[in-house]
Amino acid sequence: MLVSAALSPGVVTITLQEFAFSLAFMLLGLFGALSIAAATIAVFPQIGPSSLTSNTPKKTYPSLLVSSAFASLRNMAPDPLVIRTTLQTLINPTHRAPGFVTDEDQIAMVLAQIIARWDATDLSQLSDDQVRELWLVERLMRASPAEAGALAHFFASPTAMLAMRDVLAAPVLA
């Protein structure tokens, strides 16, 4: 009997606490519980939708080169600042001949298409590796057939690059 008298306050407390808890949920209902969950997520953003997104870096650009070419390209290309300046004058010339598309214009169009493929609008948005890659494309477009063949091995699709170079180098028939 003494045992039941000693335990009765604990039993009463547990029973009433469980009753109070179930009564609160009964009053709130399903929509009340959902609103409490939404409020909790809003107050504590670390458990909200931002924690569900991965912290992976932005996808890299679609390179035209094979991955092993970047080390060689860094050694043979000029400083990226010099390349940017040269390419800027090529892509945005100060004067144009009206009505005629020159070789310079064609190379500038090829480079502009590559820049657009990388979702950039300006050379300043490109990384140093991307600028070096454009330099290599420009060099390939201006190269002799033998030099173009040697440079094509840097590209993931050498036949496509050589075909593009051959189209630009072909004489225009009148």
Segment 34-47 mean pLDDT: 67
Structure tokens at 84: 């940017």
Note the pTM of the prediction, 2 decimals. Answer: 0.63
Could you read off the pLDDT of 56-95 as tens digits, one per residue?
444 477 888 998 888 899 999 999 999 999 999 888 876 6
Residue 94: the pLDDT is: 66
CA distance 28 to 34: 9
Instruction: Give the list of residues 6+ apart from residue 72 with CB closer than 8 angstroms, or none.
Output: 154
- The answer to whether the beta carbons of residues 87 and 128 sit under 8 Å apart is no
Residue 131: the pLDDT is: 94
Give the C-alpha distances (Å, rounded to integers) separating 100 from 88, 92, 104, 105, 172.
20, 16, 11, 9, 12
CA distance 139 to 76: 12
Could you read off the pLDDT of 84-118 as tens digits, one per residue?
999 998 888 766 666 777 888 889 989 999 999 99
Residue 86: the pLDDT is: 92
pLDDT grade for 10, boundaries at 50, 70 and 90: low
The residue with tokens 């598309």 is: 101
The share of the chain scoring above pLDDT 70, in percent, equals 63
Residue 23's region, left for phi above 0, alpha for psi from -120 to 50, else beta, is alpha
